[in-house]
C-alpha cells in the first residue's frame, strides 16, 4: 500500500482571476488540487481497495420500533451458498466498551453492536458475511426474527412523548425576561418547528477491515481518523498505535462520518473472527437509520419590544428529540442568545426520548434551527411594528456578546447587511405582503442573519523540503471536499517560498502527524496554523544551512538572512549567488530538511496530546479570553410563489458573509454556496416522514427524501465582507463550512410571507401549507 500523494496541477483558466501567479499563495484562487484525480477516476475511495480474500458483510435490521428480539433463526442463512458467518447478539465476539467522543469512560464493560432490546426501526440485530456481496444479501433475507413488540413513541407529536427532560446546561438567563415581556408595549409569541433531516451524502457509510495479528487497518470515510482509531483500539483491547485508519477521499460527510458506529464494530469483529478482510457498505435505506441526522425541534419564541422596535425581552423555550437509549442535545439558544442586544433574556431546553436512532451533528447543529426561530420571530416583530425587517435588525444590533459581555473579535455583520442589501436591491422592496408580483407569480423578498462560533483546537503537521526542491506536507487531517489539500499546499508554498505546484500534500492516514476532528468549521484554522509553524521551522533550517555550512555558496557572504522565493535562494541585496533549493541541498550534502509543527501549548504532555487528537474535550471555547469569536452572515432571498398552485421557487440569492481572512476565496465561495443550497433544501424539501403505525422512516431513499437538484437552485451570489481576525486563528481566518446554512431557511420563510401573507412556521414549506 502506497502513501496517498497530491501534487498541484497549476492549470490556467479562461477567467483571468484564476490564472494569476499569486493563486498558489494563501488567499489565492487556486483550483482544488484533488480535482483532477476525482474527475479522472484516479481518486481511490475507502471501499475501492482491492484486497485478497475480501469477504462481504450485510446487516439485518429490526422491523419493529420498540420491543425485544425473542429469537433469531439463522439456520437457512448459515447453509446458503457462500456464507461464512452469521452474527447475532449471541454469536458475535465480545467487544469492550469504549469512551465517548468527550473522553468519558464507558458506562458498560462490553459493547453490543447487535441489539437484543429494540429501540427503533432499522436497528442492527444481525449480520451475514459471505464470499460475495450478492450471496450475503440473499442469505440475509433468509434470517428470520421474532419479536415481543411494545408500544413506540414515534416522534415529538406522540401523546406518549411527554414534556421531556430538562437540560440544565442549556439554561441561559439574565435580567428578568418574564416581567419585561409582560410590561412590553408590543409582544409576539410563536412556535417554530423543524423536522428530521438527514445528511444524504453521495458516498454511503461503510468500511473495509483487515487484521494482521493484533494490528487492525480500517479503510473508512472518516472526518476524524484519530478519534475513530481510538474507539477501535478500545473496542478490541489493542494499543492505539496498532490501529491504522485510512481515508484519503470522502464523498460527503456533513457531520455524519466522525464516529465509529455499530456497523463499524460488526465489520471489524467479523474480520477478526474470520481471519480475513471484510467489506461492509450500508444500503441507502440503512444510511437513514444506522446513524442520526438532525433531530426534529420545537421552539417557542416570545419577544417584547417598544414601539421604536428596541427589544426589551426574549423568552425562548426549546425541545429536541433524542433516542430512548442515547442522548443528543441540539443547542437551540445558540443564535437566539447572541444575535440581538436585549437587557432581559431567558432560554430553557428539554429533550424528549422517542424511538429513533440517536440524532447527530448535521451542518451547523444548534445554530441552524436556532436561527429559524429567532430570525422568523424578528421578521414577525418587524411586520407588527411596520418597520423594515433589515432596519429592525440594525436597531437591535449587538455591539458586544450580550451573553458573556465580551467584545466581538471581529463582527462585520453591519457590513454584510449593507453589502447584501445594495447588491440585492433591497431598497426597492415594497413592504406590504402580496404587493410584488409578475403575472401569476407572487414575489417575496426576505432577509435573515446567521452566525457560527469559531471552534478552535490543536493540530500538527510535518513539512519536508526534499532533495529535488519540492515540499511535502503530511497530516492525518482529512479533505471531504472542503479543500484541505489545497489550502495546506498554499500555506506551505507561501511560507517556504516555492511554487504551489512543487508542493505534495499527504492526508487521510492516521499514521501521519495527528489532527482533531474535521467538524465545527475548525480544521482550516487549526491545520493552516500547524503547517505554517512547521514550514517556518523548515525554512529557518534551510536558511540556517545556507548561511552557516562551509560548503554553501552563501557561506562567504556573512549574511544574516536570505530570500527564498519561487524555489530559489538569493541574498537580500542581490549581491550574491542565485541558486535553487535543490542546488543548495546538494551543495551541503542534505537530501531533505524536516520539521514538525503543532499548535499545542508548549508544556503539553504526551497524554495531553493524545487526549487532544482523540477526543473533543480540549477544544477551546469560542468565548475564552477577552473576545467572543464568531463568523457572521446575512442572506437576502427572493422567492416566486405560483398564485394558483402554491409552489415555491427560490429565484435569487445574495448572501454577504464574514469568515475573516479567506485562505482560498474560490473554495470558500463554493463552501458557502453548498451551505446555502442545503438551507434551500431544509426550507422547501427535506423532511423525514415517519409511518406513525410502526415508527418507521418511509422515505428512506434519495427518490423520496427530496434534496435540491440543479433545477431547484438559482444563481447564488456570495460576497465576502470579512477582515483578518488574528484572535481566531494564526492566519486570520474564521469558520466557513457551517456558516452559510444558518439563516437561509428563515430568510426563505420570511420571503414566502412577504409574497403570500401567510406565515409558515413549520418546515419544510410545502404547497399544502400555502393553498
Give the residue among 718, 708, 711, 639 at the shortest CA–CA distance from 680.
708
- Is pLDDT of 278 > 70? yes
One of 3.30.365.10, 3.40.640.10, 1.20.1330.10, 3.40.50.300 is the CATH number of 297-454+623-769, namely 3.30.365.10
Q: Give me 259's grid cell.
A: 464516529
Full strand arrangement of the beta sheet holding 460-466: 6-7, 503-506, 471-474, 460-466, 592-598
Fold that domain 48-151+206-281 belongs to in CATH: Aldehyde Oxidoreductase; domain 3 (3.90.1170)
Point out which residues pair with 311 in neighbouring strands: 305
pLDDT band at 22; cut points 50, 70, 90: low
Secondary structure of 505-569 in HEC code, one letter for each residue: EECCECCCCCECCCCCCCHHHHHHHHHHHHHHHHHHHHHHHHHHCCCCCCHHHCCCCCEEECCEE
* Structure letter (DSSP) for residue 14: S
Question: Quick one: pLDDT at residue 24?
Answer: 86
Q: How far apart are CA 258 and CA 535, in angstroms?
A: 28
DSSP-derived secondary structure letter, 628: B
- Is 514 in contact with 241 (CB distance < 8 Å)? no
* Residue 716 pLDDT grade (very low, low, confident, very high; cuts 50, 70, 90): very high
pTM of the model: 0.95
Domains 48-151+206-281 and 297-454+623-769 share a fold: no
Q: Are 127 and 268 in contact (CB under 8 A)?
A: no
Note the pLDDT tens digit of each residue in 26-78.
999 999 999 999 999 999 999 999 999 999 999 999 999 999 999 999 999 99
Whether residue 621 has pLDDT greater than 60: yes
Q: Is CATH 1.20.1250.20 the right assignment for the domain spanning 6-43+456-614?
A: no
User: What pLDDT does residue 167 have?
Assistant: 98
Where residue 20 falls among pLDDT bands split at 50, 70, 90? Answer: very low
Residue 572: pLDDT band (50, 70, 90) is confident
- Does the structure show a pLDDT above 60 at 12? no
Domain assignments of the chain as residue spans, ordered by start: 6-43+456-614, 48-151+206-281, 297-454+623-769
Of the candidates 592, 546, 538, 544, the residue with the CA atom closest to the CA atom of residue 568:
546
Residue at grid coordinates 468565548: 623
* pLDDT at residue 13, as a whole number: 25
Catalytic residues: 738
Helices (H) and strands (E) in the chain, counts: 15, 33
Query: Once rounded to an integer, what is the mean pLDDT over residues 716-726?
Result: 98
Q: What is the pLDDT averaged over residues 320-334?
A: 97
In the chain, what's the furthest Cα-to-Cα distance?
A: 87
What would the mean pLDDT of 272-292 be, rounded to a whole number?
A: 97
Asked if 509 contacts 216 with a C-beta cutoff of 8 angstroms, the reply is: no
Segments of 566-699 assigned E as strands: 568-570, 578-580, 592-598, 630-642, 648-658, 690-691, 696-697
Neighbours of 572 (CB within 10 A): 12
Q: Cβ distance 204 to 287 under 8 Å?
A: yes
| DSSP calls for 198-258 | ----SSPPEEEEEEETTEEEEE---S-HHHHHHHHHHHHT--GGGEEEE-S--S--TTSSS
175 near 744, Cβ under 8 Å? no
Q: Which of 9-18, 355-364, 614-623, 755-764 has the lowest mean pLDDT?
A: 9-18
Q: At what angle do helices 744-756 and 367-385 cross, to 10 degrees?
A: 30
Residue of 371, 378, 384, 389 whose CA lies nearest to 445? 389
Q: Are 513 and 476 in contact (CB under 8 A)?
A: yes
Average pLDDT over residues 481-497: 96
User: What letter does residue 768 receive in the DSSP assignment?
Assistant: G
Residues 401 and 21: their CA atoms lie apart, in Å, by 41
Taking all residues of the chain, what is their mean pLDDT, rounded to a whole number?
A: 95
Predicted pLDDT of residue 644: 92
The yes-or-no verdict on residue 513 having pLDDT over 90 is yes
Amino acid at each position: 500500500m502506497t502513501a496517498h500523494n497530491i501534487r498541484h496541477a497549476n492549470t490556467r483558466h479562461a477567467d483571468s482571476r484564476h490564472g494569476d501567479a499569486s493563486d498558489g499563495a494563501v488567499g489565492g484562487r487556486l483550483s482544488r488540487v484533488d480535482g483532477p484525480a476525482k474527475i479522472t477516476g484516479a481518486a481511490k475511495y475507502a471501499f475501492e481497495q482491492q484486497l485478497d480474500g475480501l469477504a462481504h458483510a450485510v446487516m439485518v435490521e429490526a422491523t419493529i420500533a420498540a420491543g425485544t428480539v425473542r429469537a433469531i433463526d439463522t439456520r437457512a442463512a448459515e447453509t446458503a451458498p457462500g456464507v461464512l458467518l452469521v452474527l447475532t447478539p449471541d454469536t458475535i465476539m465480545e467487544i469492550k466498551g469504549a469512551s465517548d467522543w468527550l473522553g468519558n469512560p464507558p458506562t458498560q464493560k462490553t459493547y453490543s453492536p447487535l441489539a437484543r432490546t429494540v429501540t427503533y426501526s432499522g436497528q442492527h440485530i444481525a449480520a451475514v458475511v459471505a464470499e460475495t456481496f450478492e450471496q450475503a444479501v440473499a442469505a440475509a433475507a433468509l434470517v428470520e426474527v421474532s419479536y415481543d413488540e411494545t408500544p413506540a413513541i414515534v416522534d415529538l407529536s406522540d401523546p406518549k412523548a411527554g414534556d421531556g427532560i430538562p437540560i440544565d446546561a442549556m439554561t441561559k438567563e439574565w435580567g428578568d425576561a418574564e416581567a419585561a415581556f409582560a410590561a412590553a408595549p408590543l409582544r409576539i409569541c410563536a412556535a417554530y418547528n423543524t423536522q428530521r433531516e438527514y445528511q444524504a451524502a453521495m458516498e454511503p457509510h461503510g468500511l473495509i477491515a483487515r487484521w494482521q495479528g493484533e494490528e487492525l487497518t480500517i479503510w473508512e470515510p472518516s472526518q476524524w481518523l484519530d478519534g475513530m482509531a481510538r474507539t477501535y483500539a478500545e473496542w478490541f483491547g489493542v494499543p492505539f498505535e496498532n490501529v491504522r485508519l485510512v481515508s484519503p477521499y470522502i464523498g460527503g460527510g456533513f457531520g455524519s462520518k466522525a464516529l465509529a458506529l455499530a456497523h463499524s464494530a460488526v465489520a471489524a469483529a467479523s474480520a477478526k473472527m474470520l481471519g480475513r478482510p471484510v467489506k461492509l457498505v450500508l444500503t441507502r435505506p440503512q444510511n437513514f437509520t444506522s446513524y442520526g441526522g438532525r433531530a426534529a425541534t420545537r421552539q417557542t419564541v416570545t419577544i417584547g419590544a417598544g414601539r421604536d422596535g428596541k427589544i426589551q425581552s426574549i423568552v425562548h423555550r426549546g425541545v429536541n428529540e433524542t433516542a430512548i437509549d442515547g442522548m443528543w442535545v441540539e443547542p437551540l439558544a445558540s443564535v437566539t442568545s447572541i444575535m440581538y442586544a436585549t437587557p432581559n433574556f431567558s432560554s430553557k431546553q428539554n429533550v424528549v426520548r422517542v424511538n429513533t436512532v440517536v440524532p447527530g451533528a448535521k451542518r451547523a447543529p444548534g445554530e441552524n434551527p436556532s436561527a429559524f426561530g429567532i430570525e422568523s420571530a424578528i421578521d414577525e416583530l418587524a411586520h407588527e411594528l411596520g418597520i423594515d425587517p433589515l432596519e429592525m435588525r440594525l436597531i437591535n444590533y449587538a455591539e458586544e456578546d450580550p451573553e458573556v459581555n465580551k467584545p466581538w473579535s471581529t463582527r462585520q455583520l453591519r457590513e454584510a447587511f449593507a453589502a447584501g442589501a445594495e447588491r440585492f436591491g433591497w431598497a426597492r422592496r415594497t413592504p406590504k405582503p402580496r404587493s410584488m408580483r409578475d403575472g401569476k407569480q407572487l414575489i417575496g423578498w426576505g432577509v435573515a442573519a446567521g452566525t457560527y462560533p469559531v471552534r478552535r483546537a490543536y493540530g500538527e503537521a510535518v513539512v519536508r523540503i526534499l532533495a529535488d526542491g519540492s515540499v511535502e506536507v503530511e497530516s492525518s487531517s482529512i479533505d471531504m471536499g472542503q479543500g484541505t489539500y489545497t489550502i495546506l499546499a498554499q500555506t506551505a508554498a507561501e511560507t517556504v517560498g516555492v511554487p504551489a505546484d512543487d508542493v505534495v500534500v499527504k492526508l487521510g492516514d492516521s499514521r501521519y502527524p495527528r489532527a482533531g476532528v474535521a467538524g465545527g468549521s475548525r480544521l482550516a484554522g487549526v491545520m493552516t496554523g500547524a503547517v505554517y509553524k512547521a514550514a517556518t521551522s523548515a525554512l529557518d533550517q534551510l536558511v540556517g544551512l545556507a548561511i552557516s555550512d562551509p560548503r554553501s555558496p552563501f557561506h562567504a557572504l556573512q549574511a544574516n538572512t536570505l530570500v527564498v522565493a519561487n524555489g530559489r535562494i538569493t541574498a537580500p541585496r542581490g549581491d550574491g549567488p542565485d541558486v535553487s533549493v535543490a542546488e543548495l541541498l546538494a551543495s551541503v550534502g542534505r537530501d531533505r530538511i524536516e520539521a514538525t509543527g503543532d499548535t499545542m501549548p508548549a508544556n503539553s504532555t504526551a497524554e495531553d496530546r493524545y487526549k487532544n487528537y482523540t477526543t473533543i474535550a480540549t477544544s477551546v471555547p469560542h468565548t475564552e479570553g477577552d473576545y467572543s469569536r464568531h463568523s457572521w452572515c446575512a442572506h437576502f432571498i427572493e422567492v416566486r410563489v405560483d398564485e394558483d398552485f402554491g409552489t415555491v421557487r427560490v429565484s435569487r440569492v445574495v448572501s454577504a458573509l464574514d469568515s475573516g481572512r479567506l485562505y482560498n476565496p474560490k473554495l470558500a465561495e463554493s463552501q458557502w454556496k453548498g451551505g446555502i443550497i442545503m438551507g434551500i433544501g431544509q426550507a422547501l424539501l427535506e423532511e423525514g416522514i415517519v409511518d406513525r403505525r410502526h415508527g418507521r422512516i418511509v422515505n428512506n431513499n434519495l427518490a423520496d427524501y427530496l434534496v435540491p437538484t440543479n433545477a431547484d437552485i438559482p444563481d447564488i451570489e456570495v460576497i465576502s465582507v470579512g477582515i483578518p481576525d488574528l484572535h481566531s486563528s494564526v492566519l486570520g481566518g474564521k469558520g466557513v463550512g457551517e456558516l452559510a446554512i444558518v439563516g437561509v431557511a428563515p430568510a426563505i420563510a420570511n420571503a414566502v410571507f412577504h409574497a403570500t401573507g401567510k406565515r409558515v412556521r413549520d418546515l419544510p414549506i410545502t404547497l399544502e401549507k400555502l393553498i
